[in-house]
């Protein structure tokens, strides 16, 4: 293995730690010399809950951001071309890796956070985020041409957002196809390299004042916090290109949060249902497309979900 090969291997391993909907890891990758091509993998798309592939492309965007960030750790610059490609509609991005300078402290800190970031599904401490930390997290979204609409615990609209989360959860629970899709990817066996094992689903919320996602396969019930900060990630448009942009912004936000020991928990059912997604945009008076709803807060370090090996992803 030559030098560039071993660095690419490290970059791809780090990229694969990205968050993805139900840990589907809906990406494929091909490498030719210093050129890396990332494709979406529709065999791993949620055909019912994500018919247009919004969450699939968003997940691939997170993979792409990790690849960009991990490249800097290897003193490489990634020149990135993001879809569309009229000849290859599943192509997400092409990265050309070029020699770069040694990473600065911020770049190094961000790349180290890749392996530390995990999704939280347990209650947070009842403590809002510090304003300077929040400012850094919002700036990360801006760096990727996205926006983060913060919802503070004191804002009356928070109750409206939580009511919409509950409505979306109730509607999905009545939808047998959505339930079957969720159960295919959650509560998965310990030997699977994808999906979310039961022990990581966290407890169901006893009395949901937090806006937490309720999984069918969750065991146990807990009281969730009332004071966590919520945030909605938005993009100017709502095309596959915007979804890839949203994924990069999401991972940038999550890695910066990780550097401050802030964890994120997602509740995306509200965005999978077109009616509740529209209502979320209306109650928050958003002038951009909502792509992700999260709670941000402090909790103990959750365990890592499994990942497929780099060799399995190569096409």
Ligand X SMILES: Cc1cc2nc3c(=O)[nH]c(=O)nc-3n(C[C@H](O)[C@H](O)[C@H](O)COP(=O)(O)O)c2cc1C
Q: Which residues pair with 294 in a beta bridge?
A: 231, 266
Instruction: Based on the shown chain and the rule CB under 6 A, indicate whether residue 299 belongs to the binding site for ligand X.
Output: no
Beta carbon nearer to ligand X, 20 or 69: 20
Residue of the chain from 66, 69, 111, 119 that contacts ligand X (CB under 6 A):
119
Beta carbon nearer to ligand X, 76 or 252: 252
Binding mask 250-279 for ligand X (x = CB under 6 A): ----------------xxx-----------
Instruction: Based on the shown chain and the rule CB under 6 A, indicate whether residue 224 belongs to the binding site for ligand X.
Output: no
Beta carbon nearer to ligand X, 97 or 295: 295
Instruction: Based on the shown chain and the rule CB under 6 A, indicate whether residue 58 belongs to the binding site for ligand X.
Output: yes
Instruction: Based on the shown chain and the rule CB under 6 A, indicate whether residue 297 belongs to the binding site for ligand X.
Output: no
Give the shortest CB-212-to-ligand X separation in angstroms: 8
Give the shortest CB-32-to-ligand X separation in angstroms: 27
Instruction: Based on the shown chain and the rule CB under 6 A, indicate whether residue 49 belongs to the binding site for ligand X.
Output: no
User: How far apart are alpha carbons 284 and 231 in whole angstroms?
Assistant: 11
Instruction: Based on the shown chain and the rule CB under 6 A, indicate whether residue 123 belongs to the binding site for ligand X.
Output: no
Instruction: Based on the shown chain and the rule CB under 6 A, indicate whether residue 22 belongs to the binding site for ligand X.
Output: yes
Beta carbon nearer to ligand X, 97 or 148: 148
Instruction: Based on the shown chain and the rule CB under 6 A, indicate whether residue 23 belongs to the binding site for ligand X.
Output: yes
Give the shortest CB-35-to-ligand X separation in angstroms: 25
Instruction: Based on the shown chain and the rule CB under 6 A, indicate whether residue 231 belongs to the binding site for ligand X.
Output: no
> How many residues at the interface with ligand X, by CB under 6 A?
18
Instruction: Based on the shown chain and the rule CB under 6 A, indicate whether residue 205 belongs to the binding site for ligand X.
Output: no
* Interface with ligand X (CB under 6 A): 19-23, 55, 58-59, 62, 118-119, 121, 196, 213, 266-268, 305
């Amino acid at each position: 293995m030559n030098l560039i090969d071993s660095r690419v291997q490290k970059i791809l391993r780090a990229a694969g730690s990205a968050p993805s909907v139900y840990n589907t890891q809906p990406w494929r990758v091909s490498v030719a010399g210093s050129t890396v091509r990332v494709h979406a993998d529709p065999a791993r798309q949620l055909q019912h809950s994500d018919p247009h592939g919004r969450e699939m492309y968003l997940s691939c965007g997170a993979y792409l951001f990790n690849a960009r960030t991990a490249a800097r750790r290897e003193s490489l610059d990634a020149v990135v071309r993001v879809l569309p490609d009229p000849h290859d509609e599943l192509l997400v991005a092409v990265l050309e890796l070029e020699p770069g300078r040694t990473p600065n402290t911020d770049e190094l800190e961000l790349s180290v956070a890749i392996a530390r970031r995990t999704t939280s599904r347990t209650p947070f401490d009842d403590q809002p985020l510090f304003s300077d930390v929040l400012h850094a997290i919002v700036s990360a979204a801006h760096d990727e041409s996205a926006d983060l609409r913060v919802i503070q615990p004191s804002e009356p609209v928070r109750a409206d957002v939580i009511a919409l989360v509950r409505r979306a959860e109730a509607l999905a629970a009545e939808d047998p196809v959505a339930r079957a899709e969720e159960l295919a990817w959650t509560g998965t066996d310990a030997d699977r390299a994808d999906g979310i094992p039961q022990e990581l689903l966290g407890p169901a919320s006893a009395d949901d004042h937090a806006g937490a996602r309720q999984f069918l396969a969750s065991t146990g019930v807990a009281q969730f916090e009332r004071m966590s900060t919520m945030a909605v990630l938005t993009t100017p448009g709502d095309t596959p290109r915007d979804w890839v942009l949203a994924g990069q912004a999401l991972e940038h936000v999550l890695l910066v949060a990780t550097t401050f020991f802030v964890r994120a928990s997602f509740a995306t059912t509200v965005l999978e249902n077109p009616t509740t997604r529209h209502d979320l945009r209306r109650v928050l008076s958003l002038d951009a497309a909502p792509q992700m709803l999260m709670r941000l807060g402090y909790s103990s370090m959750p365990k890592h979900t499994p990942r497929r090996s780099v060799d399995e992803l190569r096409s």
